[in-house]
């Protein structure tokens, strides 16, 4: 007779049974064998198993009707004591799991088809917990006994621990090896292993009967209560979609038990199984029609990435790459579920998973032979691991401290402002995964792991950013690391931004040349500014304002600066000095545009400034031009400015960086919960502060704020309103003018997609690490100087003894900027060239090319004297 397959749930135990399709109702349970089956056959229901359990129940309570019966499990034999229905039900389940003998029914015995009806229905919630536990443990034993003849259907902690113990006792680990190979190579088996609803594991023996039943799915309860099965479609849908989540603590205990064994026992088996599993995933995922139901895949990935040794040995070289390649086929819904799972409270594995992926990428970078025909972007293992790391990146944000996404909505601008101010470009991520998760990088106040842990320096060094940028701009779907900026160091991302800026500059230059050739009115191919050193702000303001009104696209051109009455061709050095002088003057408190916070020494917008919007637009343009022309500025904004530039309003936590004393005061208010709150703080919703002229200014956070006291109930409202006023409302006019100028330059740039707010600060202000040892190592020599030349040894001896202020002056003198570039001083590539024999001349420099021209002075003392004079009197002199 043909065999039928069916999938059943008995007390939520996944079983596969096979039975013969014949008319003999006396077919015994011994004819049933556990086998694996296809989901398409699941609709055969649990009827066969339920029928067998009913027969065991009848046999225990009523017997078979044969007075000569010798079956000790049959009431007709006289060997079965009187049982209550509940006791009989529990024992029936146990007999079912033992393949116990079923008697043939006596012809005179009428089957009681309503034995499980309304009058004598088995109440699952009244079953003794210990009897159910015993039945389940026996059932697990059945599965273990079947390992030699049929594939294991699932694993849990009890099964695995018993199996390991049995293997140790017999000193034969073949059953364990076979079981691990079968389970970890099968999507279906692995996805149904180590589940939270495995309520009969020893870790749950203290639960009440109510708790036990609450863990069962509805179909299991209905099955044992005798309710009607659902229709075939419902059963099929249930079998596909109702897979419970993985029990992470139990899974980790299982891995610990496995890892206590000799690695030779499990390593090869698990590695081979995972490779097979990866192949199955690669074939299965693209062919799935239902893209929303991937709970089995989710469970599989969770279980696999919890393996502690996934980043070592053969796992790293073989298994992990295969899993990463397979994960490329995941749809965005599964990615989002995986990110949320990895961000749960039991997220301690986040670091281990990240380290494993980082090791894999680093290994592939080191061992791969990249060349002109094979770039790092073509290495499938690296790109697939990077894509998988993106899921981890968002999980890391979800696991950290998040702020409301409402802070990303910049407040409506006052209707009295010019309509042009309404052209505010908010930071909106186009990443589908971020959209699915409803998260933005700006929402994350503090990640679970530092963002810097996601940088991969070997990879960043290996990437040829010109090729990557070409892929980024390509319409052919080529892989670009610029789409995964979290893995790139800031120095590498700056190269990507540099290529984008330079291409725009060259494009504007070509347009100007083409216009000249064709006889059309053409503009200058460069953004040329001619300013007087003594009137630099006024001159720059006039010229930049004219450009912004008439030729705004000129801001996309390369900047060329000329100081009136001074010689020099701007190859970069003159522009650096221009920016430095503008910043020094415009941020001077005496100028009145910005104020300096006494505790943090940061500069903030002056809410009572008399300067016009054009002045703030100018400083925004200067900031944008500095980024566009790859110039580092000596500005000291608090981090909230960079967050606001990227589209996030300031909030209470931003005060910690701007005004630490105020932040601590407000935090103490939030932390205070005693009944005498009002007497202690004596605060109303009217605030006061002193402006730059020493005048006291008051402001009501609510109407009639001086009549509303701050209480335990409304203190959070007070802090939010206070922070919003200081960081947003009070400087709204000044900030939006500043923002407008900034966006005039960078509006088409990938700046916001590549950099986080703290990286924007690094991009504008440079590094704070003045490591002159790095500078010495990277410095090159010309004109006869070498590292062994005595004057060079004396030079570095003098420089290393300089104060930090003198070191800044030396950088200013040699490079045109006193800031450290992103990536450290080693990226400056300073050149020290011989400038003739000993003389009384001062050292000079070409700041455009970072070249220091140094005469070969006769003594160390003379060298020091001339060098100090040069760096202290260098503005507009000695720098070419």
Give dist(CA 468, CA 481) in Å, integer: 7
CA 339 to each of CA 298, 299, 395, 414: distance values in angstroms, whole numbers, following the listed order: 10, 12, 4, 40
- Please check whether residue 871 is in contact with residue 809, taking contact to mean a CB–CB distance below 8 angstroms: yes
Q: How many CB atoms lie within 10 A of CB 424?
A: 12
- Residues in contact with 458: Cβ distance below 8 Å, sequence separation at least 6, in sequence order: 361, 362, 365, 366
- Please check whether residue 381 is in contact with residue 368, taking contact to mean a CB–CB distance below 8 angstroms: no
* Token pair of 297 as six digits: 């895949």
Give dist(CA 159, CA 145) in Å, integer: 11
- Please check whether residue 311 is in contact with residue 323, taking contact to mean a CB–CB distance below 8 angstroms: no
* Token pair of 316 as six digits: 């790293």
- Residues in contact with 189: Cβ distance below 8 Å, sequence separation at least 6, in sequence order: 36, 151, 152, 153, 154, 155, 182, 183
Dihedral angle over CA of 134, 136, 141, 146, nearest 10: 150
Distance of CA 404 to the CA centre of its chain: 18
List own/partner pairs for 528-532 with CB under 8 A and 24 or more apart.
528/560, 528/561, 528/562, 529/559, 529/560, 529/561, 529/562, 529/578, 530/561, 530/562, 530/564, 531/561, 531/562, 531/563, 531/564, 531/578, 532/563, 532/564, 532/565
Report the chain's terminal Cα–Cα distance, integer Å.
97
> Which of these is catalytic: 69, 103, 235, 848?
848
Q: How many CB atoms lie within 10 A of CB 20?
A: 12
- Please check whether residue 275 is in contact with residue 294, taking contact to mean a CB–CB distance below 8 angstroms: no
Residue 468's nearest CA partner among 456, 460, 479 is 479
Give one DSSP letter per residue of 654-688, joined into a string. Answer: GHHHH-HHHHHHHHHHHH--STTHHHHH--BSEEE
Give dist(CA 79, CA 71) in Å, integer: 8
Give dist(CA 858, CA 878) in Å, integer: 21
Residue 536's nearest CA partner among 563, 554, 558 is 563
Q: Residue 708 in 3-state DSSP?
A: coil
The torsion angles phi and psi of 684, rounded to 5 degrees, stand at -110, 180
- Residues in contact with 193: Cβ distance below 8 Å, sequence separation at least 6, in sequence order: 154, 155, 156, 183, 299, 303
Sign of torsion over alpha carbons 632, 634, 638, 641: negative
Tell me the Cα Rg of the chain. 37
Catalytic residue flag (residue 74): no
* Token pair of 450 as six digits: 């530092």
- Residue linked to tokens 């004079």: 869
Q: What is the DSSP letter of 601?
A: -
What are the respective helix, strand and coil percentages of the chain, to the nearest 5? 55, 10, 35
Residue 203's nearest CA partner among 133, 298, 153 is 133
Residue 646's nearest CA partner among 774, 538, 751, 748 is 751
- Residues in contact with 815: Cβ distance below 8 Å, sequence separation at least 6, in sequence order: 573, 576, 828, 830, 847, 850
Give dist(CA 577, CA 586) in Å, integer: 14
611 half-sphere exposure, CB direction, 13 A CA radius: 27
Residues belonging to the active site: 848
């Amino acid at each position: 007779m043909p065999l039928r397959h069916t999938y059943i749930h008995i007390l939520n135990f996944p079983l596969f049974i096979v039975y013969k399709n014949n008319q003999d109702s006396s077919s015994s349970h011994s004819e049933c064998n556990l086998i694996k089956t296809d989901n398409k056959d699941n609709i055969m229901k649990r009827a066969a198993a339920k029928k067998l359990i009913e027969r065991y129940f009848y046999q225990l309570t009523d017997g078979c009707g044969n007075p000569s019966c010798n079956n000790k499990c049959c009431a007709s034999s006289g060997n079965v004591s009187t049982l209550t229905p509940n006791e009989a039900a529990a024992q029936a389940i146990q007999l079912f799991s033992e393949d116990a003998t079923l008697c043939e029914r006596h012809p005179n015995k009428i089957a009681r088809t309503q034995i499980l009806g309304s009058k004598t229905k088995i109440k699952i919630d009244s079953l003794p917990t210990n009897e159910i536990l015993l039945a389940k443990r026996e059932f697990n034993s059945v599965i273990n006994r079947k390992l030699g003849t049929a594939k294991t259907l699932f694993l849990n902690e009890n099964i695995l621990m018993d199996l390991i113990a049995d293997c140790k006792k017999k000193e034969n680990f073949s059953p364990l090896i076979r079981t691990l190979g079968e389970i970890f190579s099968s999507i279906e088996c692995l996805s149904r292993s180590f589940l939270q609803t495995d309520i009969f594991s020893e870790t749950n023996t203290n639960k009440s009967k109510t708790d036990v039943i609450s863990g069962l799915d509805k179909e299991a309860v209905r099955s044992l209560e005798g309710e009607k099965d659902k229709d075939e479609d419902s059963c099929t849908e249930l079998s596909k979609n109702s897979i419970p989540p993985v029990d992470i603590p139990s899974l980790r205990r299982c891995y610990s038990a496995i890892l206590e064994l000799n690695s030779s026992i499990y390593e090869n088996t698990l590695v081979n199984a995972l490779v097979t599993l990866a192949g199955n995933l690669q074939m299965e995922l693209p062919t799935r029609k239902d893209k929303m139901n991937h709970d089995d895949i989710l469970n599989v990935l969770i279980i696999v990435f919890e393996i502690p040794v996934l980043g070592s040995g053969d796992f790293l070289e073989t298994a992990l790459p295969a899993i990463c390649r397979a994960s490329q086929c995941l749809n965005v819904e599964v990615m989002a579920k995986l990110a949320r799972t990895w961000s749960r409270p039991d997220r301690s594995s986040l670091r281990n998973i990240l380290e494993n992926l980082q090791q894999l990428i680093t290994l592939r970078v080191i061992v791969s032979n990249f060349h002109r025909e094979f770039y790092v972007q073509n290495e499938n293992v690296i790109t697939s691991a990077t894509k998988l790391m993106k899921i981890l990146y968002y999980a890391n944000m979800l696991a950290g401290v998040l702020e409301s996404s409402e802070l990303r909505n910049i407040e409506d601008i006052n209707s009295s402002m010019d309509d042009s101010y309404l052209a505010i470009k908010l930071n909106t991520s186009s990443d589908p995964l971020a959209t699915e998760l409803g998260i933005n990088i700006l929402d994350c106040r503090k990640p679970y792991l530092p963002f810097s842990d996601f940088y991969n320096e070997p990879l960043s060094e290996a990437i040829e950013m010109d090729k990557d940028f070409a892929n980024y701009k390509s319409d052919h779907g080529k892989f670009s690391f610029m789409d995964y900026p979290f893995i790139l160091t800031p120095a590498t991302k700056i190269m990507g931004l540099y290529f984008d800026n330079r291409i725009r500059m060259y494009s504007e230059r070509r347009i100007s040349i083409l216009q000249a050739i064709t006889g059309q009115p053409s503009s200058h191919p460069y953004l040329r500014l001619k300013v007087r050193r003594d009137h630099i702000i006024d001159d720059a303001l006039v010229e930049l304002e004219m450009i912004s009104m008439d030729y705004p696209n000129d801001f996309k051109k390369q900047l060329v600066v000329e100081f009136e009455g001074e010689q020099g061709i701007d190859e970069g050095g003159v522009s650096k000095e221009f920016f430095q002088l503008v910043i020094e003057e415009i941020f001077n408190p005496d100028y009145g545009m910005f104020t300096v916070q006494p505790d943090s020494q940061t500069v903030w917008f002056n809410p009572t400034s008399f300067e016009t919007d054009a002045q703030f637009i100018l400083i925004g343009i200067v900031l944008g031009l500095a980024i566009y022309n790859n110039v580092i500025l000596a500005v000291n904004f608090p981090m909230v400015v960079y967050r606001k530039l990227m589209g996030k309003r300031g909030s209470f936590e931003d005060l910690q960086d701007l005004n630490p004393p105020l932040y601590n005061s407000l935090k103490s208010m939030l932390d205070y919960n005693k009944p005498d709150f009002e007497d202690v703080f004596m605060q109303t919703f009217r605030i006061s502060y002193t402006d730059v002229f020493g005048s006291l200014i008051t402001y009501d956070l609510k109407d009639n704020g001086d009549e509303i006291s701050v209480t335990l109930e409304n203190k959070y409202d007070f802090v939010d309103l206070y922070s919003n006023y200081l960081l947003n409302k009070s400087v709204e006019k000044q900030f939006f003018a500043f923002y407008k100028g900034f966006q005039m330059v960078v509006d088409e740039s990938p700046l916001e997609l590549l950099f986080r707010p703290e990286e924007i600060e690094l991009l504008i202000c440079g590094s704070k690490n003045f490591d002159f040892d790095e500078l010495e190592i990277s410095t090159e020599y010309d004109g006869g100087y070498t590292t062994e030349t005595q004057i060079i040894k004396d030079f570095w001896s003098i420089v290393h003894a300089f104060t930090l202020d003198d070191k800044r002056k030396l950088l200013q003198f040699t490079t045109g900027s006193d800031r450290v570039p992103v990536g450290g001083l080693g990226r400056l590539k300073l050149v020290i060239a011989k400038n003739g024999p000993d003389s009384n001349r001062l050292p000079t420099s070409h700041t455009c090319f970072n070249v220091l021209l140094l005469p070969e002075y006769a003594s160390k003392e003379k060298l020091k004297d001339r060098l100090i004079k040069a760096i202290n009197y260098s503005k507009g002199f000695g720098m070419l």
